[in-house]
Structure 1
Amino acid sequence: MSDIPIADHALLSDRHSAALVTKNGSVDWLCFPRFDSESVFASILDDDAGHWSIRPTAPSTSTRSYVDGSMVLQTTFHSKDGTLELLDALELGDSTDPHRLGENAPHSLLRGVRCISGRVTFEMVCRPRPEYGLVVPVLVEIDSGVVATGGSGRLTLSLAAPATILDGEIRVTFTLEAGQQQHFALQRTHLGEPLPGTYLQDEIAASLAGTIASWQEWSAIHQTYDGPWRELVHHSGRVLQALSYQPTGAIIAAATTSLPEEVGGERNWDYRYSWVRDASFTMKALWVAACPDEAHEFFSFMTAAAAHSNPDRHLQIMFGVGGEHDLSERLLPQLKGWRGSGPVRVGNGAWDQPQLDVYGELLDAAFRLREQLGDIDPATRTFLIALADAAASQWQQPDNGIWEVRGAARHFLYSKLMCWVALDRAIAMAEQLHATDRVAEWSTKAEQIRATILEEGWNDEAGAFTQSFDSSDLDASALMIPIVGFLPASDPRVLATADAIIERLTDARGLVYRYQTDTGVDGLEGNEGTFLLCTFWLARVLAAGGRGDEAREVFERAISHISDVGLLAEEIDSDTGEQLGNFPQAFSHVGLVNAAWAIDQAERGQPADDGTAAENAQ
Structure 2
Amino acid sequence: MAGDRAAGAGERYLPIADHGLIGDLRTAALVGTDGRINWFCAPRFDSPSVFGALLDAEDGGYWHLSPVGAVTRRQQYYFPDTNILITRMLTESGIVEIQDFMPVLAAGDRNHRQRLVRRVVSVRGGTRLRTVVAPRMNYGRDAHRVEHQPHGVRFTSAAMTLSLQAGTTLEISGRDAVGTFDLAESRSVLFVLESAETVGGEPAVDLLDAPAAEELFRSTARFWRQWLSRSTYTGRWREMVHRSALTLKLLTHEPSGAIVAAPTLGLPEQLGGERNWDYRYVWIRDAAFSLHALLRLGFTQEAGAFIGWLTRCLRGARGGAGGPLRVLYSIDGDAGLPEHVLHHWEGYQGSGPVRVGNGAAEQLQLDIYGELIDSVYLFDKYGPGISHDSWMDLCAILEWLLEHWDVPDAGIWETRAGAQRHTYSRLMCWVAVERMIRMARRRGLPGDLVRWMSVRDRIYHQIMEQGWNEQDGTFAQRLSDEPGQPPESILDASVLMMPMVKFLSPEDPRFRATVKAIGENLVTDSLVHRYDPKQSPDGLDGTEGTFSLCSFWWVEALARTGRTEEARLALEKMFTYANHLGLYAEQIGMTGEHLGNFPQALTHLALISAATHLDALMG
TM-score scaled to structure 2, two decimals? 0.93
Matched with 2:101 is: 89
Instruction: Map residues 288-367 of structure 1 onto 2, 5 A cutoff.
Output: 288-308=296-316, 313-367=323-377
Q: Which residue matches 1:180?
A: 187
Change beyond 3 A, Cα 1:195–1:127: farther
From 229, 246, 253, the equivalent of 2:254 is 246
The residue type paired with residue 505 of structure 1 is: L
Distance change >3 Å, CA 458–CA 104, structure 1 → 2:
farther
Structure 1: gaps spanning 5 or more residues? 98-102, 605-618
Equivalent position to 2:452, from 431, 439, 442: 442
Say which of 113, 119, 136 aligns to 1:106.
113
Instruction: Tell me if structure 2 keeps the 8 A contact 1:130–1:151.
Output: no
- Residues 506-531 of structure 1: per-residue CA shift (max 9 Å, x gap): 23x33110111123531111000000
2:53 is equivalent to residue 55 of structure 1: no
Which residue identity lines up with residue 582 of structure 2 in the other structure? G
Give 1:59's aligned amino acid: A
Structure 1 position 174, deviation (Å): 1.6
Q: 1:333 to 1:309 in 2, by over 3 A?
A: closer
Q: Who is 1:9 aligned against?
A: 19
Counterpart of 1:292 in structure 2: which amino acid? T
Letter in structure 1 aligned against 2:127: V
Instruction: Answer yes or no: is the 8 Å Cα contact 2:294–2:302 preserved in 1.
Output: no
Task: Give yes or no for contact 2:300–2:383 (8 Å, CA) kept in 1.
Answer: no
In the TM superposition, what is the alpha-carbon distance from 1:49 to its structure 2 partner?
1.0
Q: Does 1:603 align with 2:609?
A: no
What is residue 228 of structure 2 aligned with on the other side?
219
**Contact kept in structure 2, 1:156 and 1:196, CA below 8 Å:** no
What is the distance in 1 between the residues matched to 2:385 and 2:595? 42
The reply on whether 1:588 has 2:592 as its aligned counterpart is no
Q: Output the CA distance in 2 between the equivalents of 1:66 and 1:184.
A: 19
Of residues 577, 590, 593, the one that matches 1:578 is 593
Counterpart for residue 402 of structure 1: 412
CA drift of 1:290 comes to: 4.9
Report the counterpart of residue 170 of structure 2 in structure 1: 163
Find the aligned partners of 1:256 and 1:443 in 2 and give their Cα distance.
Answer: 42
More displaced 10-residue stretch of structure 1: 308-317 or 27-36: 308-317
Contact 2:423 2:463 in 1 (8 A): yes
Give the 3 Å change call, closer, same or farther, for CA 33–120 of structure 1 in structure 2.
Answer: same
Matches of 1:440 and 1:20 in 2, distance apart?
Answer: 52
Distance 2:300 2:80 in 1: 20
Matches within 5 A, 1:517-596: 517-574=533-590, 576-596=591-611
Report the counterpart of residue 500 of structure 1 in structure 2. 517
Note the C-alpha offset of 1:186.
0.3
Q: Is the 8 A contact 2:43 2:197 kept in 1?
A: no
Match for 1:74 among 79, 83, 86? 86
Give the corresponding residue for 2:5: none
- Looking at structure 1, the residues matched to 447 and 46 of structure 2 have their Cα atoms a distance apart, in angstroms, of 42
Aligned partner of 1:414 in structure 2 is 424
CA apart distance, 1:307: 1.9
Instruction: Give per-residue Cα distances to partners, 1:126-184, cap 9 Å, x unaligned.
Output: 00111111234200001101000014100000012321211211111121111111100
Query: How far did residue 490 of structure 1 move?
Result: 1.0
Deviates more, 1:350-359 or 1:432-441: 432-441
1:264 lines up with 2:272 in the alignment: yes
1:209 matched to 2:218? The reply is: yes
User: What are the ranges of 5 or more consecutive residues in structure 2 without an aligned counterpart?
Assistant: 1-8, 481-487
Match of 1:488 in 2: 505
Distance 1:158 1:383 in 2: 48
- Structure 1 residue 285: deviation in Å? 0.7
Seen in structure 2, the aligned counterparts of structure 1 residues 387 and 218 have a Cα distance that, compared at 3 Å, is same
* 1:459 has 2:469 as partner: yes
- Return structure 1 stretches of 4+ with deviation > 6 angstroms: none
CA contact (8 A) 2:244 2:604 kept: yes
Q: Which secondary structure state, in structure 2, belongs to the residue aligned with residue 132 of structure 1?
A: helix
Which position in structure 2 is the counterpart of 1:612?
A: none
C-alpha offsets along residues 359-408 of structure 1, whole Å, 9 cap, x if unaligned?
A: 11011111222245424222211122223333322111111010111111
What is the one-letter code of the residue matched to 1:148? Answer: F
Distance 1:308 1:158, change over 3 A: closer
Matched-pair contact (CA < 8 Å) for 1:128–1:136: no
Cα drift, residue 294 of structure 1: 2.2
Tell me the distance in 1 between the aligned counterparts of 2:67 and 2:471. Answer: 62
Deviation for aligned residue 1:12: 0.7
Q: 1:104 to 1:599 in 2, by over 3 A?
A: farther
Q: Identity percentage over the alignment?
A: 38
Q: Write the letter of the residue equivalent to 1:555.
A: L
In structure 2, the CA distance between the partners of 1:446 and 1:475, relative to structure 1 (3 Å rule), is: same
- Asked if 1 retains the 8 angstrom alpha-carbon contact of 2:587 and 2:596, the reply is yes
Deviations 1:1-30 (A, max 9, x none): 542100001001111001000001110000
Could you tell me which residue of structure 1 aligns to residue 287 of structure 2? 279
Q: Could you tell me whether the CA contact under 8 Å between 1:355 and 1:399 is conserved in 2?
A: yes
- Partner residue in 2 for 1:607: none
CA shift in 2, pair 1:440/1:104, >3 Å = farther
Give the Å deviation of 1:570: 0.5
Structure 1: distance between partners of 2:103 and 2:442: 39
Letter in 2 for 1:177: A
Secondary structure, in 3 states, of the residue corresponding to 2:138? coil
Tell me the TM-score normalised to structure 1 length. Answer: 0.93
* Matches of 1:457 and 1:196, distance apart in 2: 64
Give the CA deviation at 1:280. 0.3
TM-fit CA distance, 1:194? 5.3
Q: Which residue of 1 aligns with 2:402?
A: 392
1:391 alignment partner, SS class: helix
Q: Match of 1:300, SS?
A: helix
CA distance in 1, matches of 2:594, 2:278: 17
Give the conservation status (yes or no) of the 8 Å contact 1:300–1:380: no
- Is the 2:322–2:397 Cα contact (8 Å) retained in structure 1? no
In the TM superposition, what is the alpha-carbon distance from 1:354 to its structure 2 partner?
0.7
CA contact (8 A) 2:64 2:131 kept: yes
Q: Cα deviations across residues 439-480 of structure 1 (Å, max 9, x unaligned)? A: 221111111110111000101233210111122211000101
Letter of the aligned partner of 1:216 in structure 2?
Answer: R
- Tell me which moved more, 357-366 or 427-436: 427-436
Q: Provide closer, same or farther for how the CA distance between residues 223 and 373 of structure 1 changes in structure 2, counting only shifts above 3 A.
A: closer
In the alignment, residue 561 of structure 1 is paired with which amino acid? Y
One-letter identity of the residue aligned with 2:556: R
C-alpha distance in structure 1 between counterparts of 2:154 and 2:300, whole Å: 39
CA contact (8 A) 2:552 2:571 kept: yes
Please name the residue that 2:483 is paired with: none
Mean CA deviation greater in 33-42 or 228-237: 228-237
